[in-house]
Amino acid sequence: MTKESLLDRLSAEVGEAFAAEGLDAALGRVQRSGRKELPPFQCNGAMAAAKAAGKPPRVIAEAVAARLAESSILTGVTIGGPGFLNFDLPQSVLVGALDAIAADDDKGAWQRVDPERIIIDYGGPNVAKPLHVGHLRAAIIGECLKRLFRTVGDDVLGDIHLGDWGLQMGQLIAELKREQPDLPYFAEADEGPYPAESPVTVDDLARLYPKASAACKEDPARLAEAQEATVELQSGRPGYRALWQHFVDVSKAALEKDYGELGVTFDLWKGEADVDPLIAPMVDELQAKGLLEESDGARVIRVAREDDKKEIPPLLVVKSNGSVGYGSTDLATIIERKRELSADRVVYVVDARQREHFEQVFRAADLAGYMSADRLEHMWFGTMNGTDGKPFKTRAGGVLRLRDLIDQVVSEATKRLDQGGMAQDVSPEEKQEIARRVGIAALKFADLSNPRTSDYVFDPERFVTFEGKTGPYLQYATVRIRSVLQKAGSDGGDAPLIIEDPAEIDLALELSLYADAVQGAYEKRMPHVLCDHAFTLAQAFSRFYANCRIGDEADGQRRSSRLRLSRITFEQLNSVLTVLGIPVPEKM
């Protein structure tokens, strides 16, 4: 069952008034007023209707306002300027909205009418390579979208989709063979069984891969060795398959640890290799459908359209040497997700550089009848840059490991806690955990608070602060509300709400708009909309805290009402931060 947002409810009421005047009900769309001196809600539909109706907008606004005079959910209807409609709400409506929020497990979040089964692909790390800052945005945005989709009612599975089947696997095998040629995995006649213990650690892989990659770039013969090893691996050579499994296992353990630090988890740990059994049947099927064409010894699918404004190259399915690449494994993965996982929709959280690739894959899947292109979404994102405006790197100019970035922000968080005299009455272990949560909050909120499609600058000193629009500020605001309730020794229970003071009204209005924020974030796939709501809500509570006595209010009924209002705010703010994936300490 859907939970209607306040703005939808108000818009339906105003829309009926427009419809009664013979106008489109959609003109009644209500929005939050951006000016404090005006009533909290407005509708600009009369302006848009004027030309079609052949009447001045103010005349239309007056007619609509007259019809709204008897409304039970709108009050104080006024007309501003040439025809802007302004509205207020009776206290009963606000109280009713807050009561519903308090009783709701999701604290007022919007719900879909027709939920879907969604696979969200938001990892994409390569086996044998440590996570670096380039993996950060996919992890943070993907985890948030997964939580958001679940909040609105979708059935969601998060898939890491490991890069575990391409040339890098052949490079690792060939390089290890050079270093340890006597390992049983390289004996052509040996078909196992092979040792259960891996011959390499994750540190070995981190050393071997750059060495192998550099050698392949410099020496064509080394590249040929790696390509041959890749083909043999993909063809099922037992020793190479066993070695590959070791690479995956040791990499997975390291990835789980690093992603775990960010609070990022996956339901599926599938990779390109999982769909290898589907490749040959898929190629035969594509051939039978007449979609495959020969091109310089390779086989491709032409996906260009006559109305394309730029050239879209064919999708490479089978390389000239018989091996397969990202195009074929991504296409086969769509088959797996549709047929085996019953996906209604697949969402890919991958950076903007892959936009053309996904356009090719989606078109090919549509042409082949595997999945409609409108059910495949590429949620691309911009770049995280350093204070120099360039992609975030080490001081030496190299790629910064994610682990090192996390250490940086935790160190900065520890410094800020000390400067603010915070977390001083806890054990060193507790303080370290608080600093970790503060650092992760700074990192995540800095990313999510910017529009997904924008580049942004990450400055630890700017974002690891308890002031302004930051993750630590929101953590502090949430902890402060908890402290107010603990100090009062009461959370207001089910006390009747009294919403009269301007600060109470402002806070109540912000709470009531959570559903709209969730709906907007979901439909636009833009987590920053939730960040904006969390920050605005925290600011509204700060004004309420400054202007209204809460725990020490002399009037018993008003005290209970304000404590309950505080609790509702705490629960919703905590709910928003949970969707954003931001951990809140017990105290600071």
Tens of pLDDT, residues 396-443: 666 788 888 999 999 999 999 999 899 888 999 999 999 999 999 999
Which pLDDT tens digit goes with each residue over 207-252? Answer: 999 999 999 999 999 999 999 999 999 889 999 999 999 999 999 9
Whether the CB-CB separation of 314 and 300 falls below 8 Å is answered with: yes
Look-up: residue for tokens 């891996």?
198
Q: Where are the beta strands (DSSP E) in 257-339?
A: 292-295, 298-301, 315-318
Question: Which stretches does DSSP call E strand in 223-297?
Answer: 292-295
Please state, as a whole number, how many other Cβ atoms lie within 10 Å of the Cβ of residue 309: 6
Cβ atoms within 10 Å, residue 121: 25
Q: Please tell me the predicted confidence (pLDDT) of residue 324.
A: 83
Q: What is the pLDDT of residue 188?
A: 83
- H/E stretch holding 406: helix 402-419
In terms of Cβ atoms closer than 10 Å to its own Cβ (0-12, 13-18, 19+), residue 389 is exposed
Q: At 173, is the secondary structure helix, strand, or coil?
A: helix
In the block, residue with structure tokens 């074929």: 328
What would the pLDDT profile of 247-258 be if each residue is shown by its tens digit? 999 999 999 999
CA atoms within 13 A on the CB side of 10: 27
- Please tell me whether the peptide bond between 193 and the residue prior to it is cis, using omega within 30 degrees of 0: yes
| Mean predicted confidence (pLDDT) in 491-507 | 96
Q: What is the pLDDT of residue 209?
A: 92
pLDDT cut 90: percent of the chain above it: 83
**C-alpha distances out from residue 285 to 154, 278, 330, 497, Å:** 32, 11, 16, 65
Mean pLDDT of 296-324: 92
* Three-class secondary structure of residue 501 per DSSP: coil
Helices 428-448 and 402-419: angle between axes, nearest 10 degrees: 110
Rounded CA-CA distance 585/468 in Å is: 19
Structural domains of the chain, with CATH: 6-89 (3.30.1360.70), 272-378 (no CATH), 402-580 (1.10.730.10)
Largest CA distance in the chain: 90
Q: How far apart are CA 509 and CA 7, in angstroms?
A: 11
Rounded CA gap, 323 and 317, in Å? 9
Please state, as a whole number, how many other Cβ atoms lie within 10 Å of the Cβ of residue 332.
24
pLDDT at position 287 over 80: yes
**DSSP per residue over 317-375, as a string?**
EE-TTS---HHHHHHHHHHHHHHTS--SEEEE---GGGHHHHHHHHHHHHHHTSS-GGG
* pTM of the complete model: 0.92
Helix (H, G, I), strand (E, B) or coil at 135: helix
The confidence score (pLDDT) of residue 225 equals 95
Cα-Cα-Cα-Cα dihedral of 585, 527, 567, 494, to 10°? -140
pLDDT of residue 190: 78
Q: Which pair of structure tokens corresponds to residue 417?
A: 């806690």
pLDDT at 578 over 80: yes
Mean pLDDT calculated for residue range 544-558? 97
Mean pLDDT rounded to a whole number for the chain: 93
CA atoms within 13 A on the CB side of 120: 28
Give yes or no for residue 301 having a pLDDT over 90: yes
* Percent above pLDDT 70 for the chain: 98
pLDDT of 68-127, one tens digit each? 998 989 999 999 999 999 999 999 999 999 999 999 999 999 999 999 999 999 988 989
Beta strands in 117-163 (DSSP E): 117-121, 155-159
Does the pLDDT value for residue 2 go beyond 50? no
Q: Is the pLDDT of residue 1 over 60?
A: no
Query: What average pLDDT does the segment 465-490 reach?
Result: 96
